Amino acid sequence: MEQSGTQSGTKESPMKRLVAGSVIYGLGNVANKLVTLLLLPIFTTYLTPEDYGVVSMLTVVGGFTASIFALGLSSSIGILYFDTREPRQRQRIIWNAAIVLFASAMIMALAGLILATPLSRIFLNDAGYAEHTKIALATAAAGVAGIPWQLRLQFEERPVAFVIVSALGLVATTAASLWFVVMLDRGAIGALTGSLVGQLVGTVLLLIAAADKPPLDQNFNFAGRLIYHGLPFIPSFGFIFLLQNWVRWPLEWHHGLDDVGIYSVGANIGVALGLFVNAFLSAWTPFALSYAGREDEAAAVLGRITLYYVAGFGFLTCLFFLYAAPVVQWFTQPTFARAAEVVGLSAVGQFLSGLFMMMLPPLYFAKRVQVVVVTQAIATTVVIGCGELVVPRFGIHGAAISVVLGFLVLVVIQWVVMNRLPVVKIRYDFRRAGFLMLLFGVVAAVSFSIDFASLGLGLLLAIGVTIGTGAVVFLQICRLEEILLVIKRTPWLLQNK
């Protein structure tokens, strides 16, 4: 079982593993987001835009703090794990990481208890949110403790176990959130408490599903190496987090927590695409790293899959533009109606983030991943600059546009850097990918002209654009000879001909 994620039996089996893993991870994530979406009418009734703003800001603070206290081990674990094929060595790597991160999580939670008041004053300009801050940091700390076990399930290609654990954590989060927000009417602090309960349950379940008995000769030989390889990633994770979330601060400073809350609802709906992207990346990481030592084969295979990513996830991104208005109308209260204006742009950021991650395997092969820090620093600077220039004037629109520009700069600069480094050169199909990108841009522009004042007519137009776009994407990805081959191998089509 340990080696199944690193070896391939036939040329077809790696692709089947990738698709199967992506589908299973995706189903789990879709269920997660579907429940969240279905609960929006309830939560937007009991939570004000300001409540959403508080929850959003503190979730960002917790996530940023977690990126520091995780010590970069979410990347260094993979580097050391796939550097050996010896099961006992891999077991020691996971246990060393688990002990290090548990200690780090305890320190993080303790720091949250001690520094909650000043942190609340710094990030929310109000010391009255100290209790909220304690809960948000405790939630993030629980997530840090679960990192090694989550990665172990992914590396061993056990997506079913991972999805079951995630689903049970979702049930706990949903039940606790409904209890605290609806039954007890605790507002923002109730939503944060529900997340804490769900994260604690999820971490415990990950431990049960992934942990085995520590090796009898357990030592800390790998702890130093894990930290050594992980620390350079801390700035990287910090930059990515700022890329996604920095704009909330200038939005709060210039427009208030209400606008942060509205932006957060729209961004969270757009982030639904990120669930699909992350599901794919969860399967992609062990799949791509399994080509270490087979770089010539990797150049062709990874390039082809990148084209499929652009086609599939680009098409999904278009749907977020086309159907944002009716979704927000159906699932939120009227005070959140403006959230629809940032849904599509938020999805674009998720699409570009995934594309960036798909460019990194050659750097993993060459053990030169640290170079991405410079690229991320430049992109983060762009986001901060745009945030200061356009958010004061354009509000939530400026915030969403700033994030998209930041990730676009990230992808472009990383591609330029990769071409200058002595690493494996992935063979990308720029002609077809470029055409698809242009098509998706046109569809996004067209979506803004669809008027959903007449809901039926608006949906009819959106469905028409969806079908047309899907047909063009299919014809671009599937060459004519491939389509004819499928027809030839489908007896019932020939019988009906």
218, pLDDT greater than 80? no
Split at pLDDT 50, 70, 90, the class of 292 is: confident
pLDDT of residue 28: 56
pLDDT of residue 411: 93
Which residue, 322, 350, 345, is CA-closest to 400? 345
Q: What is the pLDDT of residues 419-429, one digit of tens each?
A: 888 888 888 88
96, pLDDT greater than 90? yes
5, pLDDT greater than 60? no
Compute CA distances 28 → 169, 210, 212, 402, whole Å. 11, 17, 24, 30
Round to whole Å and give the CA distance between 196 and 200.
Answer: 6
Q: Are 391 and 250 in contact (CB under 8 A)?
A: yes
pLDDT of residue 263: 92
What share of the chain in percent tops pLDDT 90?
39
Which residue, 171, 173, 177, is CA-closest to 190? 177
pLDDT of residue 14: 56
Q: Are 292 and 364 in contact (CB under 8 A)?
A: yes
* Side chain identity at residue 12, one-letter code: E
Round to whole Å and give the CA distance between 358 and 287.
Answer: 11
Q: Are 90 and 81 in contact (CB under 8 A)?
A: yes
pLDDT of residue 3: 40
pLDDT of residue 242: 85
Higher pLDDT, 75 or 14: 75
Q: What is the pLDDT of residues 399-410, one digit of tens each?
A: 999 999 999 999
Q: What is the pLDDT of residues 336-383, one digit of tens each?
A: 889 999 999 999 999 999 999 888 888 877 777 777 888 889 999 999
Higher pLDDT, 36 or 121: 121
Round to whole Å and give the CA distance between 374 and 353.
Answer: 16
pLDDT of residue 356: 92
493, pLDDT greater than 80? no
Output the average pLDDT for the chain: 84
Handedness of CA 90, 93, 95, 97 (dihedral sign): negative
Round to whole Å and give the CA distance between 475 and 141.
Answer: 47
Round to whole Å and give the CA distance between 8 and 11.
Answer: 7
Q: How many CA atoms lie within 13 A of 497 on its CB side?
A: 8
What share of the chain in percent tops pLDDT 70?
88
Q: 303: which 2 tokens?
A: 């390039």
Q: What is the pLDDT of residues 188-198, one digit of tens each?
A: 999 999 999 99
Q: What is the pLDDT of residues 432-477, one digit of tens each?
A: 999 999 999 999 999 988 888 777 888 999 999 999 999 999 888 8
pLDDT mean over 65-73? 91
Least confident of 59-73, 97-111, 157-171: 157-171
6, pLDDT greater than 80? no
Split at pLDDT 50, 70, 90, the class of 488 is: low
25, pLDDT greater than 50? yes
List own/partner pairs for 97-100 with CB under 8 A and 24 or more apart.
Answer: 97/73, 97/147, 97/148, 97/222, 97/223, 97/226, 98/145, 98/148, 98/149, 98/211, 99/220, 99/223, 100/71, 100/73, 100/223, 100/226, 100/227
pLDDT of residue 7: 41
pLDDT of residue 33: 60
Q: 467: which 2 tokens?
A: 């079908």
Helices marked H in 179-222: 187-210
Round to whole Å and give the CA distance between 19 and 29.
Answer: 15
pLDDT mean over 327-336? 87
114 class by beta-carbon count within 10 Å (0-12 exposed, 13-18 middle, 19+ buried): exposed
Round to whole Å and give the CA distance between 333 and 51.
Answer: 14
pLDDT of residue 294: 78
Higher pLDDT, 56 or 112: 112
Q: What is the pTM of this model?
A: 0.72
Q: What is the DSSP string of 209-260?
A: HH--PPPTT---TTHHHHHHHHTTHHHHHHHHHHHHHTTHHHHHHHH-HHHH
Higher pLDDT, 393 or 215: 393
Q: Are 454 and 310 in contact (CB under 8 A)?
A: no
Q: Which residue has the tokens 């204006």?
A: 341
Split at pLDDT 50, 70, 90, the class of 8 is: very low
pLDDT mean over 223-242? 84
Higher pLDDT, 422 or 62: 62
Handedness of CA 121, 48, 180, 199 (dihedral sign): negative
Split at pLDDT 50, 70, 90, the class of 489 is: very low
pLDDT mean over 468-495? 64
Which residue, 338, 351, 343, is CA-closest to 322? 343
Higher pLDDT, 23 or 232: 232
Split at pLDDT 50, 70, 90, the class of 76 is: confident
Q: Is 431 helix (H, G, I), strand (E, B) or coil?
A: helix
13, pLDDT greater than 70? no
137 class by beta-carbon count within 10 Å (0-12 exposed, 13-18 middle, 19+ buried): buried
pLDDT mean over 168-182? 90
Spatial CB neighbours of 340, under 8 Å, sequence gap ≥ 6:
266, 324, 325, 327, 328, 329
